[in-house]
Structure 1
Amino acid sequence: MAKALGFGLLVFGTGLWLSGCGGGSSGPVPPDLSGSVGIETNTRVDGDTADEARLGLSVDNNTPATAQQLPANATVGGYLSFNDDTYDNPIGSYPNGPFDYSRDRTDLYVAELAEGDRISLQVFASPDLFLVTDIADPTRQIRVLKSDGGNLVDALPPVERTGDLNPMTVTLPTGFESGSYLIELSTSGGMPFRYVLSLADIASTTSLNARYSEPTFVIDQAVVQMAVPAAPRAMASSVGVVRQQSLGNGTWLMKRNSSAVRILSDQAEPDQRKSTLGWIRSLRKQPGVVSAEPDYIYTAQAVAPDNDDFFSRQWNLTLMQTRLAWQVAPNNGSGVGIAVLDTGLFSSSPSSRGAWHPDLDANVRLVTETDPEPNMDFVTGDRDIDGTAGRDTNPADPGDGRSRSSNFHGTHVAGIAAAVDNDIGIVGVAPEALIYPLRVLGKEGVGSSSDLIAAINWAAGRDEIDVLNLSLGGLGNSEALRNAINAAWDGGNGKLIVAAAGNAATSDATFPAAYDNVIGVGAVDGAGVLAGYSNTGPSVNVVAPGGDASRDADQDGFADLVVSTYGTDEGGSFVANYASLQGTSMAAPHVAGVYALMKGEVPTLTPVQFLAFLRGGSLTRPLAPTSDYGFGLIDALESVYAVLEGDPPISLSSSPSAIQFNSAVLSSALTLNPFPENETVTITDLTPGAPWLSASVEDPEQPLQVNVVASPDGLDPEGRFVTELVVSYDPDNGAADTLAIPVSLQLGADVDDKNAGRHYILLINADDEEAEIQQTIVTATDGRYRFEFDDIEPANYFLVAGTDTDNNGLICENGEACAEYPVNGLPETIRLGDDPQNGVRLNTSFRRPTISAMGMPRVGFEGYRVKSEASDQPELTKEYAP
């Protein structure tokens, strides 16, 4: 196995053999290995990366006159740096200084843009040990420029970010004039960084994932789903299980280390992370195991606590028309149970159950009809700092002793949903709803998926609880968590589950918000505009007030933060307080509160009916684009009116939800899906929005199967075209409505233009870690990279390829193009050196596979070490990071 540079590779060595193509007794002798690397469609590379600059091969793109042309839906890998310098090399110095970074403060691109298009920028830095410690995170800016009377002006306000490496997204608003624009990326300080710029039109339904997800998990723990809900038989000692704990619903927490100290993967050594993941794979092979996965860590989704004065500052209620809703819904959510799965609740006496925050106390419930002493504190391990080890009956928040405590997050969330109308402090959205506090997040607002699953399973069995609020999130796509949520949803007749969409300004799926049976909630400011930090895409079904400290959109003289109940615990003295926070954590309980208002008036309301109202547009003010705002901004008044008026509307959705055509794909099968599923609808009309588009039902027996065709005759052969297909439908039991499906057509894609940058192709001996790697460097020709290796010693090898855009000596880092044989993220060995192997194919991309595609997180992977082209020290090339 190859040696690692402080981190490991998850390798599935199968000893795969390839059959050579061709051959014969005459003609040229074929090389030991030859093949090619394909390039993902619409991929481009920045013309002046640090790697190109080092060799004097860079092509300037720093001015409008030299801007690079991009196709529609392009993906571009690039590099920017405010200064030039040399990387700190952790394995020694290079005598000829090849691993330097160069100054490049601006990159410009030309693209055809239209309303609804999304411009996303993801950034990545070298490992910490490569950079001096006093270099700050980079300041960066995105500008969209247009020509106006010979001058370049901003078509939109510039978007800036600093102090982190979070993504940036610009969505072109309704009314944006289609045409040719400059996209300027720049930096004004901080460390050098790689970036991936991606463009997506309104018909793009998937986001580009440019980094390996590295969710934190607990070392030596696994969440295991059994085929039979009963207690599993003791796992064999050969797989090392020393303890099993039921989480409910056939799910078990299994441990292989008897120590009470739980170590998180981001604090563990690489060997510990690798060993835990290997152990979990072995659990998957045990009899009766349906699934086994890491015990992922989830965190609260709030930022920037602020103890500003709060009186008369509940703009969030005004934005949602909540005060008017109270007049229409006088029960104010009475009797509706909201389970707040969070950090617990503030108590002035946290060692005992009671003395809750005075703005919450009257609504807090700890006793259920079936259990007078239920365990409502589910936090375990070293995150549990309440003085009582393990799960217990007291969900009081123990604080953390800091002046700006992170642990009263749950108190803030509960206040937004259901603070009491008692003439002090604030008023919640549903001021007479009941609060069931379930403590699942402990120290610093962190909790494990096993604790969260146990709490969800407990709440699912309590008739008193109607809605679960999950103002938390993490990157771990847990099958066990999905199963717990589905059980609580119970086919739409159980609990409504509401979750925060996340605060990373990314369109990557964030869980649990992105699960099918969860209402994912994004955040808006005081004017109903998407907050700068709010996630978008598959995690967002609806938006609600979450605040944005950088804005005063309602012009009340205060930053748009959400005020709610809080507490302090300085010096061990617990004092009820209020605070202003921002985050999708704050947005989620607004939706939970609206559901409580609706159900307080109509107790028979079910989650599936709420979802039908939402999908039908009855609960929101629609905002565009739907990729950012989902079904729109939740409106309390409209929501109450909707449920009082009767049955929810019957809506229609499509699969796929958007259609993308190109010169090679000019037809698509479209399936129309009624919601709820058992309803019947009649398609009354199919209206294409452009002459080049047509749609028809081919089979009368399948009226919901539509064939959509694009006809490019007479169109610009290099053009891009965007329109909508409008489906008119009439439900048997509801009002007629329409569904608009985005459609795009991209013509003139030239494979010769595809380019992911200069690629280093490496052969790494898997049998001998002391063997020198073999390397060749290739450039793209006709949309592919072609390579050959000869004089290969017989052995098992890893075959990988990628770019080094920041010239730090590592390829395949996040933000760089990468190809691994046979599949990126799942490298396998290939036997070489015995017989020629020709025609080997790989594919390179700036895209990274998801955890679900890889089967397990790829934790700590930071690329492969390449040879220094100027170095005469071959021993230095042995260090790489497979």
Structure 2
Amino acid sequence: MRDLPLYISLYLLILLTSCTGQTGEESSSSNAGLRYTISGTITGLNGSLRLQTNNVTLTTRNNGSFSFQGNFIDGSNYNITVALQPTGQLCSVNNAIGSINSANVSNITITCIDYTFSISGNISSTVLTVVDSDINDPGSQTNISNNTAASAQIINNLSTVHGFASLNGTNRTGDRFAQAGDPSDYYQLNLQQAQTITLQAVDFSGTETLQGDLDLFLMDANSNIVAQDTAGTEFKSITVPSDNFYYILVAAASGSSKYTLRLNSANTAGLSSPQSADFVPGELMIKFRQNLSINNFSNANTHLTLSHHNRSRASLAQMDTANTSLKLFSHHNNTNNSTPEFLHELKSLNFTSYEKIITLREIKRLNSQTDIEYAEPNYIYHALRVPNDDFYNRQWNYPAINLPQAWDITTGTPPSGNVIVAIVDTGVFLNHSDLTGKLTPGYDFISNITNANDGDGRDSNPDDPGDNTQAGKSSWHGTHVAGIVAANTNNRTGVAGVSWGAKIMPLRVLGTQGGNSSDIIEAIRYASGLSNRSNRLPAQKADIINLSLGGPGFSQSMQNTFNAARAAGVIVIAAAGNDNSSTLFYPASYDGVTSVSATDFLNEKAPYSNFGSRIDIAAPGGNQRVDLNNDSNGDGILSTLVNETSASRSSAFVFYQGTSMASPHVAGVAALMRAVYPTLTPDEFDNALRNGKLTNEAGDAGRDDIYGYGVIDALKAVQEAQRLSNGGTPPTTPAIIVATPSSLVLNLQNTAQLNISNQSSTPASITGFSDNASWLTVTENTVDANKLGSYNITINRNGLNNAIYNGTITFNLSTGEVLSVQVSMLVGNISTNGDIGLVYLLLIDSASGNVINSISPASLGNGNYSYIFNSVPNGSYQIIGGSDIDNDQLICQPGENCGGFPVVSALQDIPVSGADVTRIDFNIDIVSSVTSVSIPSQNKATSNKTVNNTPLKQPAKPPANNN
């Protein structure tokens, strides 16, 4: 039995030897039994790829080498296929089929490419947007000069224009205006009265190349300048004076800037808006800093002649306009001194307008110098117009303001001395019988001999020779005003004055051509006992100054003068103006000046009277078109005047109307107060006014924009003077309820929000609200227990005819006052199509933020555009687009068009996954806020128009809907 294992072992050995010898007979190769690999390279893969051969699979996400390891024997066949393609890609295999030939296989190549898709949509331009026809972007195909009136661009009267202007060439390679500037843009259109036009110089505070100051002018068909705003500020605004055809001129005063020009709807409800002021061409007011050598200044500016060399106050400078070279106006790095084309044209069309623009340019040049505190126009003021048409149908009389009751307390004679009221006007007929003994020495401050009409310039004789060279045409305005204040009273002849005891200081500033700010300033300084160009001072300064004159146009010199007068203890009263407008009217609108509107016989607003935020008080102004008291005379205001029918002047008494007549009523009452309380200060007068101690309500409770704090009440005013004289103190500040915005101009909008808040610590609430228009609805949105907060405003245009509509929302307050908000909206068959001009649409990769493509949309007409991005791989994207009117390689800057999906302020990702994406629609509008982000916001574009080495604005002239 022990021999059996040996037997079996020998048997197995023989068997194995036999088998080995059989394999060797079938294959003589020395590689029999080895295993081989199949490998290669992958390129373009972006995802997960699954490969397969001979039931063996391989999954990879990597480009580069791949390998099927050790699974194949010599002589075996293989066929490499793609079992699963990566998402959005197509991978193909080269050298996919073969046999193992005693070696590894390494020549397999797999190439992956993306499936590509498209993103498309439509773009809508915001209604009534317009592109300046000549902009700095050379890619813009439309480049039509609008530099002169003859080539003015036609626009709609409610348009919003975005454009570019440059005084000189930008000196920047690639710019359309690199060498020669684009100093002016003219627009022509029909405008409606009270439309407001606003201009934003977007790059006013810019840096380097793009920094500039732009001016705004409105001209009639004959190129007369009817309105202008040339303030050295980013925003300009003017108001259209009447329905007519106009040119709007945007002119570069310095540098280069984008701009936005907005034409707002007519403001027939009287919403406040600026009005341009007239001024003397070739004259300007200059205030020098104390460190300036005036002699050096004069030597360097020989074209200017100064009225005096006193640095403590403004000097009147006269300029030789006709022969002054425009080279004098080079400033703000202006290197090209050639005269702009539009000034050449204007010089031949309208020399006065040319002179005015040159004067304003000289003012800007001076204001750019560090040793000049300010330079400003020499504004022209006029005696207030006396409206005489059927609209002016209101009137007044003395009992309406309780003068008889006040006279029971005082007739205006103080315990000692005199109360003096300075009448700054046309002068006074010194020999008028009803002014005998009422006049103190005055002065004639009219500097221009022609304007003075008395044969000389400034002199010590304030007698009024007439403000018209034609007989019978003079107004004798100052004489009429003086009689209202203090005509001899209770003397059995003539008329009564408000204050029987007051004295008049006649100061002459208005002549045949009106008056200018320089002369008026000197008169105010004289009246206030301050140094002036008469080189004399009154024996007693005035207690009150009355100014029944004015016009538009703020003057810093005059504001400074009123500050000085007020500091000297003088109360200043001025007429609000006779234009039935809320436009700011000066000097009534200066700080520290009491502005007086006019009422009629019924104690209601006179139809001509101005109104608005600066009205402080109302007084009788009259209305000569009616006779409501049946005395056979128009209900004007009767006062002293001049009869000039004979060779010599004689005393007369005539009815006039206007805020010129209302103002001296308040001045006269202030004189009565000073008689009772001689130390009455301007602050005490103002505090009493604000707290209702001098007035009666005429309509709405509290202060409003028509009557201010109410109609003057002489009795209450005198009683308040008695209280102050006995040690009374002014009450605390009342509640101040305001609306934000203060008015609503909705144009084509259907909804808006209005916020009502209390700006004082004194509590108050809204007790009710209402509106006066059928198309206007007001509802609470979010309010607190006092009903303060936000309100919804809704417009319903159904059934309304084409027109501009105005309404009023009234909020009743717990203080007894009311807050009124004006609402304006438009109904009209007006073409509202907008124009976006050349726009660059950018396709941005959401993950990296890189711009991967740029195209421009194609116009479909009517303000609509289409676009399509082709060859878009799978991924996630954002779309933004905008113009580049200044060619600085940045889009979506203020003053340029901008839009994105769905809105530029909140871009959303657009996923592309195996299919075309359509209907990616959005709107493009003009960026008006200086805080809006530009694209790119952090990476400045290089000169080849790339961001992060990807195209921003390429191609410069892309064909529509192509990449």
Cα distance 1:620–1:5, how it changes in 2: closer, same or farther (>3 A)? same
1:528 CA drift (Å): 1.0
Contact 1:522 1:544 in 2 (8 A): yes
Cα distance 1:649–1:788, how it changes in 2: closer, same or farther (>3 A)? closer
Contact 2:548 2:575 in 1 (8 A): yes
Contact 2:387 2:608 in 1 (8 A): no
Cα distance 1:362–1:759, how it changes in 2: closer, same or farther (>3 A)? farther
Separation in structure 2 between the aligned mates of residue 779 and residue 197 of structure 1, nearest angstrom: 25
Separation in structure 2 between the aligned mates of residue 280 and residue 717 of structure 1, nearest angstrom: 46
Separation in structure 2 between the aligned mates of residue 472 and residue 791 of structure 1, nearest angstrom: 46
Q: Secondary structure at the match of 2:373?
A: strand
Cα distance 1:834–1:643, how it changes in 2: closer, same or farther (>3 A)? farther
Pick aligned residue for 2:462 from 377, 395, 400: 395
Does residue 361 in structure 1 map to residue 436 in structure 2?
A: yes
Contact 1:759 1:777 in 2 (8 A): no
**Mapping for residues 569-648 of structure 1, pairs under 5 Å:** 569-570=644-645, 572-625=647-700, 626-646=704-724, 647=728
User: How big is each residue's C-alpha offset from its partner over 1:282-328, in whole Å with a ceiling of 9 and x where there is no partner?
Assistant: 1112332221111010001141699xxxxxx9952222121221111
> Which residue of structure 2 aligns with residue 486 of structure 1?
563
> Which residue of structure 2 aligns with residue 5 of structure 1?
149
Greater mean alpha carbon deviation, residues 517-526 or residues 284-293: 284-293
Q: Secondary structure at the match of 2:705?
A: helix
> Which residue of structure 2 aligns with residue 327 of structure 1?
408
Give the number of the structure with larger relative contact order, counting CA–CA contacts within 8 Å between residues 6 or more apart. 1
Separation in structure 2 between the aligned mates of residue 839 and residue 542 of structure 1, nearest angstrom: 60
Contact 2:423 2:507 in 1 (8 A): yes
> Which residue of structure 2 aligns with residue 336 of structure 1?
419
> Which residue of structure 2 aligns with residue 217 of structure 1?
279
Pick aligned residue for 1:126 from 223, 241, 245: 245
Contact 2:566 2:682 in 1 (8 A): yes
User: How big is each residue's C-alpha offset from its partner over 1:336-368, in whole Å with a ceiling of 9 and x where there is no partner?
Assistant: 110000000114xxxxxxxx211112110007x
Contact 1:503 1:584 in 2 (8 A): yes
Separation in structure 1 between the aligned mates of residue 637 and residue 735 of structure 2, nearest angstrom: 36
Q: Secondary structure at the match of 1:564?
A: strand
1:432 CA drift (Å): 1.5
Q: Which amino acid aligns with 2:439?
A: V
Contact 1:383 1:447 in 2 (8 A): no
> Which residue of structure 1 aligns with residue 428 of structure 2?
345
> Which residue of structure 2 aligns with residue 282 of structure 1?
365
Does residue 560 in structure 1 map to residue 614 in structure 2?
A: no
> Which residue of structure 2 aligns with residue 450 of structure 1?
518
Contact 1:503 1:535 in 2 (8 A): yes
1:755 CA drift (Å): 10
TM norm structure 2: 0.51
> Which residue of structure 2 aligns with residue 411 of structure 1?
479
Q: Which amino acid aligns with 1:389?
A: D
Contact 2:412 2:671 in 1 (8 A): no
Pick aligned residue for 2:271 from 169, 190, 207: 207
Q: Secondary structure at the match of 1:476?
A: coil
Separation in structure 2 between the aligned mates of residue 298 and residue 402 of structure 1, nearest angstrom: 21
**Mapping for residues 459-478 of structure 1, pairs under 5 Å:** 459-461=527-529, 463-478=540-555
Separation in structure 1 between the aligned mates of residue 298 and residue 884 of structure 2, nearest angstrom: 47
Separation in structure 2 between the aligned mates of residue 121 and residue 761 of structure 1, nearest angstrom: 25
Separation in structure 2 between the aligned mates of residue 613 and residue 655 of structure 1, nearest angstrom: 16
Contact 1:329 1:601 in 2 (8 A): yes
Q: Which amino acid aligns with 1:631?
A: Y
User: How big is each residue's C-alpha offset from its partner over 1:98-122, in whole Å with a ceiling of 9 and x where there is no partner?
Assistant: xxxxxxxxxxxxxxxxxxxxxx997
Greater mean alpha carbon deviation, residues 519-528 or residues 392-401: 392-401
1:5 CA drift (Å): 2.4
Separation in structure 1 between the aligned mates of residue 173 and residue 732 of structure 2, nearest angstrom: 53
Contact 2:884 2:896 in 1 (8 A): no
Contact 1:247 1:253 in 2 (8 A): no
Contact 2:638 2:654 in 1 (8 A): yes
Separation in structure 2 between the aligned mates of residue 267 and residue 417 of structure 1, nearest angstrom: 43
Does residue 243 in structure 1 map to residue 306 in structure 2?
A: yes
Does residue 270 in structure 1 map to residue 345 in structure 2?
A: no
1:455 CA drift (Å): 1.2
Cα distance 1:648–1:610, how it changes in 2: closer, same or farther (>3 A)? farther
Separation in structure 2 between the aligned mates of residue 415 and residue 779 of structure 1, nearest angstrom: 64
Contact 1:379 1:391 in 2 (8 A): yes
1:440 CA drift (Å): 0.7
1:481 CA drift (Å): 0.9
Q: Which has the larger radius of gyration?
A: 2
Separation in structure 1 between the aligned mates of residue 836 and residue 444 of structure 2, nearest angstrom: 52
Pick aligned residue for 1:431 from 479, 500, 503: 500
1:76 CA drift (Å): 11
Separation in structure 2 between the aligned mates of residue 344 and residue 480 of structure 1, nearest angstrom: 23
1:801 CA drift (Å): 12
Separation in structure 1 between the aligned mates of residue 881 and residue 689 of structure 2, nearest angstrom: 54
Cα distance 1:331–1:667, how it changes in 2: closer, same or farther (>3 A)? closer
Cα distance 1:330–1:725, how it changes in 2: closer, same or farther (>3 A)? closer
Q: Secondary structure at the match of 1:340?
A: strand
**Mapping for residues 520-531 of structure 1, pairs under 5 Å:** 520-531=595-606
Pick aligned residue for 1:303 from 386, 392, 398: 386
Q: Secondary structure at the match of 1:538?
A: coil
Unaligned residue ranges in structure 2 (runs of 5+): 1-144, 153-162, 175-188, 198-219, 224-238, 248-262, 323-346, 530-537, 745-750, 769-779, 797-807, 839-858, 866-879, 898-924, 931-940, 954-963
Contact 1:247 1:450 in 2 (8 A): no
Separation in structure 1 between the aligned mates of residue 427 and residue 411 of structure 2, nearest angstrom: 29
> Which residue of structure 1 aligns with residue 257 of structure 2?
none
1:658 CA drift (Å): 3.4
Separation in structure 2 between the aligned mates of residue 278 and residue 630 of structure 1, nearest angstrom: 38
**Mapping for residues 746-765 of structure 1, pairs under 5 Å:** 757-758=831-832
Q: Which amino acid aligns with 2:545?
A: L
Separation in structure 2 between the aligned mates of residue 763 and residue 484 of structure 1, nearest angstrom: 50
Contact 2:580 2:607 in 1 (8 A): yes
Q: Secondary structure at the match of 1:250?
A: coil
> Which residue of structure 2 aligns with residue 742 of structure 1?
819
Q: Secondary structure at the match of 1:547?
A: coil
Q: Which amino acid aligns with 2:525?
A: N
Aligned-residue CA RMSD (Å): 5.5
Q: Secondary structure at the match of 1:294?
A: strand
Contact 2:449 2:455 in 1 (8 A): no
> Which residue of structure 1 aligns with residue 802 of structure 2?
none
> Which residue of structure 2 aligns with residue 227 of structure 1?
289
User: How big is each residue's C-alpha offset from its partner over 1:715-763, in whole Å with a ceiling of 9 and x where there is no partner?
Assistant: 898799753454xxxxxxxxxxx475738799xx99x999985467699
Q: Which amino acid aligns with 2:543?
A: D
Separation in structure 2 between the aligned mates of residue 569 and residue 540 of structure 1, nearest angstrom: 36
Q: Secondary structure at the match of 2:354?
A: helix
TM norm structure 1: 0.56
> Which residue of structure 2 aligns with residue 154 of structure 1?
none
Separation in structure 2 between the aligned mates of residue 50 and residue 787 of structure 1, nearest angstrom: 33
Q: Which amino acid aligns with 1:457?
A: R
1:556 CA drift (Å): 3.4
Separation in structure 2 between the aligned mates of residue 50 and residue 571 of structure 1, nearest angstrom: 48
Pick aligned residue for 2:789 from 692, 696, 710: 710
Contact 1:228 1:250 in 2 (8 A): no
Contact 1:612 1:648 in 2 (8 A): no
Q: Secondary structure at the match of 2:500?
A: coil
Separation in structure 1 between the aligned mates of residue 459 and residue 596 of structure 2, nearest angstrom: 30
User: How big is each residue's C-alpha offset from its partner over 1:198-229, in whole Å with a ceiling of 9 and x where there is no partner?
Assistant: 476xxxxx9243xx733211111111223339
Separation in structure 2 between the aligned mates of residue 755 and residue 834 of structure 1, nearest angstrom: 46
How many percent of aligned residue pairs carry the same amino acid? 29
Contact 1:762 1:801 in 2 (8 A): no
Cα distance 1:457–1:627, how it changes in 2: closer, same or farther (>3 A)? same
